[in-house]
Structure 1
Amino acid sequence: MKREDVPPPYTAVTRHEVFPTPTHDEAARFNFLTAFNKYLSGVIGPGNKLAYEKRVLPAFRAEHRRDPKDRFEIRHAMNKDPWHRFWSACKRNSMEMRQQNGRSMVLRQLDALDAKARQLNADRPTLQLDPSVATPRYQNAVDIHCMPGSYHGEERPGDVSAGANYDCGIFATTAGGLGALSDGGGQALVEWIKRERPGWTPKRILDVGCTIGHNIVPLALAFPDTEIIAIDTAAPVLRYGHARAQALGAKNLKFIQMNAEDLSRFPDGHFDWVQTTMFLHELSGRALPQIIREGVRVLAPGGLMLHLEQPQYSDEMPLYEQFIRDWDAFNNNEPFWSAMHAMDLKQVIEAAGLPRSSQFVTGVRAVVDPTVFPVAASGEKEDHGRAAVWNAYGAWKPQS
């Protein structure tokens, strides 16, 4: 077995002050799930394409006298195939097991986690919660990622259970592909901007849909003199994310409870950098363009807008690839995934005020320590949302 085929153990996770402490059995379950997700992606997953090419497509052609016209026809046909059904069931169960293990691990020590978070959060102006911020319908209609209560759920008022569960389980879901702190995406942003704009120090950065700050803390540490604001509608993940950032030394990072559909708190041109990371696919068709419009409004001339996501579906992307990337929409409680990736995101950004001539698309790969995380550094292809490669849809706002 090659070294890059062996996922890192759960003990490789960096345990900051508010990270839940696993028992031997809890760590063993996460070790199993880490390896299981790697196995499903790298060994079992390719069998889906063989099933499609050898069985499903020939049967479809025989019945319909044509090829499938879209990813939905492929999905309906593949859902009858035993190999794909087996793979799908394993992947769904792996997510449910991840949530069960993480939640039980968090609830067992919730008193200690809440106490530590309160200590790190107490009387700090860098955490601003607003009970008047309503949870959007598109966020609380389902348990996103099968996480009980989604991002907004509380075991008791004022707790950090949702954030702690999210933090402790993502390592297993990504098979260690985002590194010891699951912040490989944020580390990649730091490296990308240093290559793209050497010596540039933005005055203000806005991170929209921050969850617990995995991807914004690296930027805060890389730009200690920059004012950085991370917003989300979910108080539980903000409580945990702020405590986590404080524990990791990101003192210039402010967490604010706010709905990004209305950024009227900030004046036009307030930020030099506005970004989201794997967030747009969790937005409704109405909310997404409104959030981008508000982001463009608060972006300063010459500033950067950047959205890390999976590649948009296009005429150039084979229908089978669209189908397999669509899996999360129908099996992992990601109701807006399919529609969002079928959008013309460039057109949405243009309609918000950033012309095509200012836009760009680039690839971003998670930055991790290859001596500890060979899986993430091995060049493995992206696995529709769970590995270490994204597309970045961006624009530099024209000066006038």
Structure 2
Amino acid sequence: MKQDVPPPYTAVARHAVFPTPTHDEAARYNFLTALNKYLSGSIGAGNKIAYDTRVLPAFQAEHGRDPRDRFEIRDAMNQDPWHRYWSALKRNSMEMRQQNGRSITLRQLDELSAKVRQFNEGRDTLQLDPDLPLPHYMNAADIHCMPGSYHGEERPGDMSAGANYDSGLFATTGGGLGALSDGGGQALVEWIRKERPDWKPRRILDLGCTVGHNIVPLALAFPEAEVIAIDTAAAVLRYAHARAQALGARNITFIQMNAEDMSRFPDGHFDWVQTTMYLHELSGKALPRIIRESERVLAPGGLMFHLEQPQYSDDMPLYEQFIRDWDAFNNNEPYWSAMHALDLKQVMEEAGLPRDRQFTARVLAVVDRSIFPQAAEGAEEDHGRAAAWNAYGAWKPEA
């Protein structure tokens, strides 16, 4: 199988609480998987051609200079028919993905709910707080065009948001994160084993865990560790807990908690505090607060590790900043643009992590060879979003 041929949706690993699609629902996901790969490849490449051959020359002729920032490029590109066509297709592909996932989930909601309850009831490894206030920034939009976002509930005790999210990740990423859509978590395991092969963290904290797809591989890799995964959304936590139990990750406790206030945990409690594609979901006020709290609960000598897309530095061409910014304006990611313009190293330094203890690393998703048997090492696609991340990390100084 060639790398640019998308795998069929039947390659998804259907664990015990995974929504089961009908033939037609799986066919829709197959179409969306192929469409997403096509949009990030052949069609997506046309944006740079449009910019170089039409948009930039026209801008220079009108203004007598090059664009000053990514926003000027965005305004100019939004007038170009090719970019408008590509943007419309991408937006519609996400809306179709959400409609299909929601339809699949709601059709079997009673059955799925019963399965989830079997894994959740009577276990102290799922701890919900019905009085926890929802952060305003989490309620600002239906993130990723997901109806009700992560927090929406069809009825009391609902878990459909988590099931919908899990159902469609494979199609959204073109299968690039593997059969369980856990390529990010697998990458964390691979990175730490190369970086510190003998390290055995006692306690691991995952912030913004969603359905737990990135923390389960870590928990399985360190079965003796106490793993805590927190999120503000009860609907995804119910599903995440059941999913982890079904996959054998019994050492994870899922807690409904706002990471801005983790006073439940004492200072220096965790050896590893980490996030995966979470920081861009945070408001400008919440992000530094969460970094400060993360530093507080991190043990001396411990690891803080944030997987994200690269920050918009002076070394990044303005066109690349613009194209990476697409999600902020078209995929209901209201904090994406501002977050990626932050100096994360400065934020971490102000939180108490010295520059000389910080690092950045390129972390590639672990390619599932059963899906992409001929995939090239280090392959990246969709501007890196589906296959590779930048890690912004720090080892906390010893006391």
Post-superposition shift, 1:156? 1.1
Q: Partner of 1:361 in structure 2?
A: 360
Q: Partner of 1:312 in structure 2?
A: 311
Verify: 1:199 aligned to 2:198, yes or no.
yes
Deviation track 1:189-239 (CA, whole Å, cap 9, x = no partner) reads: 001101101111100000000001010000000100000000000000000
Paired residue type of 1:91 = K
Paired residue type of 2:106 = L
Post-superposition shift, 1:370? 2.0
Aligned 8 A contact 2:210 2:236 in 1 = yes
Secondary structure at the aligned position of 2:366 is classed as coil
Secondary structure at the aligned position of 1:194 is classed as helix
Q: Partner of 1:104 in structure 2?
A: 103
Paired residue type of 1:18 = V
Q: Partner of 2:186 in structure 1?
A: 187
Aligned 8 A contact 1:40 1:91 in 2 = yes
Rounded to whole Å, the distance in 2 between the matches of 1:5 and 1:152 is 35
Deviation track 1:332-372 (CA, whole Å, cap 9, x = no partner) reads: 00000000000000000000000000000001111132242
Instruction: For 1:226-305, list aligned pairs within 5 A.
Output: 226-305=225-304
Rounded to whole Å, the distance in 1 between the matches of 2:130 and 2:249 is 25
Rounded to whole Å, the distance in 2 between the matches of 1:345 and 1:272 is 21
Rounded to whole Å, the distance in 2 between the matches of 1:116 and 1:84 is 44
Do the aligned partners of residues 352 and 211 (structure 1) sit closer, same or farther apart at CA in structure 2, a change above 3 Å counting? same
Paired residue type of 2:68 = K
Secondary structure at the aligned position of 2:369 is classed as coil
Choose 378-387 or 187-196, whichever is displaced more: 378-387
Paired residue type of 1:114 = S
Paired residue type of 2:387 = A
Post-superposition shift, 1:122? 0.7
Rounded to whole Å, the distance in 1 between the matches of 2:12 and 2:268 is 38
Secondary structure at the aligned position of 1:5 is classed as coil
Rounded to whole Å, the distance in 2 between the matches of 1:390 and 1:382 is 11
Verify: 1:142 aligned to 2:141, yes or no.
yes
Aligned 8 A contact 1:230 1:256 in 2 = yes
Instruction: For 1:25-174, list aligned pairs within 5 A.
Output: 25-174=24-173
Rounded to whole Å, the distance in 1 between the matches of 2:373 and 2:329 is 31
Aligned 8 A contact 1:361 1:394 in 2 = yes
Aligned 8 A contact 1:176 1:375 in 2 = no
Aligned 8 A contact 1:281 1:336 in 2 = yes
Do the aligned partners of residues 38 and 374 (structure 1) sit closer, same or farther apart at CA in structure 2, a change above 3 Å counting? farther
Post-superposition shift, 1:385? 6.7
Deviation track 1:134-181 (CA, whole Å, cap 9, x = no partner) reads: 111101110000000000001111111000000000100000000000
Post-superposition shift, 1:378? 5.6
Paired residue type of 1:284 = S
Post-superposition shift, 1:262? 0.2
Choose 193-202 or 366-375, whichever is displaced more: 366-375
Rounded to whole Å, the distance in 1 between the matches of 2:273 and 2:368 is 27
Rounded to whole Å, the distance in 2 between the matches of 1:44 and 1:105 is 29
Rounded to whole Å, the distance in 2 between the matches of 1:375 and 1:176 is 14
Choose 382-391 or 167-176, whichever is displaced more: 382-391
Post-superposition shift, 1:383? 2.2
Rounded to whole Å, the distance in 2 between the matches of 1:374 and 1:85 is 35
Q: Could you tell me which runs of 5 or more consecutive residues in structure 2 were left unpaired when the two chains were aligned.
A: none
Post-superposition shift, 1:373? 2.5
Rounded to whole Å, the distance in 1 between the matches of 2:324 and 2:185 is 23
Post-superposition shift, 1:375? 8.1
Normalising by structure 2, what TM-score?
A: 0.98
Rounded to whole Å, the distance in 2 between the matches of 1:385 and 1:352 is 28
Rounded to whole Å, the distance in 1 between the matches of 2:374 and 2:71 is 32
Aligned 8 A contact 2:41 2:382 in 1 = no
Aligned 8 A contact 1:29 1:101 in 2 = yes
Aligned 8 A contact 1:178 1:376 in 2 = no
Rounded to whole Å, the distance in 2 between the matches of 1:156 and 1:94 is 28
Do the aligned partners of residues 376 and 310 (structure 1) sit closer, same or farther apart at CA in structure 2, a change above 3 Å counting? farther
Aligned 8 A contact 1:304 1:394 in 2 = yes
Normalising by structure 1, what TM-score?
A: 0.98
Post-superposition shift, 1:382? 4.2
Rounded to whole Å, the distance in 2 between the matches of 1:384 and 1:44 is 13
Paired residue type of 2:72 = E
Aligned 8 A contact 2:276 2:306 in 1 = yes
Rounded to whole Å, the distance in 1 between the matches of 2:197 and 2:75 is 49
Do the aligned partners of residues 108 and 179 (structure 1) sit closer, same or farther apart at CA in structure 2, a change above 3 Å counting? same
Verify: 1:346 aligned to 2:355, yes or no.
no
Post-superposition shift, 1:15? 0.3
Rounded to whole Å, the distance in 1 between the matches of 2:105 and 2:387 is 26
Rounded to whole Å, the distance in 2 between the matches of 1:391 and 1:207 is 17
Post-superposition shift, 1:384? 4.6
Q: Could you tell me which runs of 5 or more consecutive residues in structure 1 were left unpaired when the two chains were aligned.
A: none
Rounded to whole Å, the distance in 2 between the matches of 1:65 and 1:267 is 58
State the identity %.
79
Secondary structure at the aligned position of 2:294 is classed as helix
Rounded to whole Å, the distance in 2 between the matches of 1:252 and 1:121 is 14
Paired residue type of 2:53 = K
- Dislocated runs of 4+, deviation >4 Å: 374-378
Do the aligned partners of residues 245 and 378 (structure 1) sit closer, same or farther apart at CA in structure 2, a change above 3 Å counting? same
Paired residue type of 2:190 = E
Q: Partner of 1:214 in structure 2?
A: 213
Do the aligned partners of residues 327 and 152 (structure 1) sit closer, same or farther apart at CA in structure 2, a change above 3 Å counting? same
